[in-house]
Amino acid sequence: MIVWLIGLSGAGKTTVGTRLAARLREESANLVYLDGDLLREVWGGALSHDVAGREVNAERISRLCRMLDRQGVHVVAAVLSIFPRWRAWNRENLSDYFEVFLDVPMDVVVERDTRGLYRAALDGEQSDVVGVDIPFPRPEDPDLVLDSSGRDGTPDELVERIVAALTARVTT
Ligand SMILES: Nc1ncnc2c1ncn2[C@@H]1O[C@H](COP(=O)(O)OP(=O)(O)OP(=O)(O)O)[C@@H](O)[C@H]1O
Ligand SMILES: [Mg+2]
């Protein structure tokens, strides 16, 4: 099973993803948490944040997921994921792929500005920011959409919503 969390910077991928991984590990320890940012460091930190660098990162993460998937390892992946092509690849190549879109209004993530990126981008001091100068194509066919502005609940409540959706899917 691959649970793929998509959302803008500040949408809560890491917050929800780490808690979801801990929650799912209560049932099976056979699970790896992959975070797009941490993987950049794993690859050696040389990738840029422009569209080309992001695509290399996206491809590597998807292919790593396939390797783990083939060995029966579950994955929770938290990835900004702006490439419809790699999302489609995931659905085709990963078994039991479950895509969760943390949909949050742009003004909420700008207000959170967890990395200081949006303010800098809006002030013209930072480029390559998704949602500002790099477009964010909304996922076309996610398995679950949750509003992570607080409207659909706290991060822990969102985790429970995802677990419930995963359980419902297994039993149908
Ligand atoms: N309902 C909510 N769901 C998720 N996050 C929330 C919610 N309410 C507040 N937050 C806060 O929003 C922030 C989300 O930041 P987080 O680093 O998880 O985002 P991210 O999607 O991983 O961003 P990045 O792509 O920059 O790594 C956290 O500070 C979190 O506590
Ligand atoms: Mg993150």
- Cα separation, 27 vs 7, whole angstroms: 26
Contact predicate 75/28, CB 8 Å: no
Q: Between β-strands 2-6 and 31-35, what pairing exists: parallel, antiparallel or unpaired? A: unpaired
H or E stretch covering 4 = strand 2-6
Q: Which ligand 1 atom minimizes the distance to the CA of 157? A: 1
- Cα separation, 20 vs 161, whole angstroms: 10
CA–centroid distance, 13 to ligand 1, in Å, is 6
pLDDT of residue 171: 64
Summarised one tens digit per residue, pLDDT across range 32-82 is 999 999 999 999 988 999 999 999 999 999 999 999 999 999 999 999 989
Provide residues with CB under 6 Å of ligand 1.
7, 9-16, 37, 78, 80, 112, 114-115, 148, 150, 154-155, 158
172 pLDDT higher than 80? no
Rounded to an integer, the average pLDDT of 72-97 is 96
pLDDT of residue 10: 98
Kindly state the tokens that stand for 114.
């967890």
Contact predicate 158/16, CB 8 Å: yes
CA–centroid distance, 64 to ligand 1, in Å, is 24
Summarised one tens digit per residue, pLDDT across range 118-151 is 999 999 999 999 999 999 999 999 999 999 999 9
Of all ligands present, the nearest one to the C-alpha of 155 is 1
pLDDT of residue 81: 86
CA–centroid distance, 12 to ligand 1, in Å, is 3
pLDDT of residue 169: 87
Number of folded domains in the chain?
1
With pLDDT > 90 as the criterion, what percentage of the chain qualifies? 95
Q: Where are the beta strands (DSSP E) in the chain?
A: 2-6, 31-35, 74-79, 97-103, 144-147
Tell the residue number behind the tokens 């929770």, with chain if given: 76
Q: Between β-strands 31-35 and 74-79, what pairing exists: parallel, antiparallel or unpaired? A: parallel
Summarised one tens digit per residue, pLDDT across range 1-22 is 999 999 999 999 999 999 999 9
Q: Which ligand 1 atom minimizes the distance to the CA of 149? A: 1
- Cα separation, 5 vs 7, whole angstroms: 7
Domain that holds residue 84: 2-171
Residues annotated as catalytic (active site), given as ranges: 81
* CA neighbours closer than 13 Å in the CB half-sphere of residue 172: 6
H or E stretch covering 158 = helix 155-171
Question: What's the CATH code of the domain at 118?
Answer: 3.40.50.300
Output the residue whose Cα is nearest ligand 1's atom 27: 9
Q: What does pLDDT average to over the chain?
A: 96
Query: Could you tell me the pTM of the whole model?
Result: 0.96
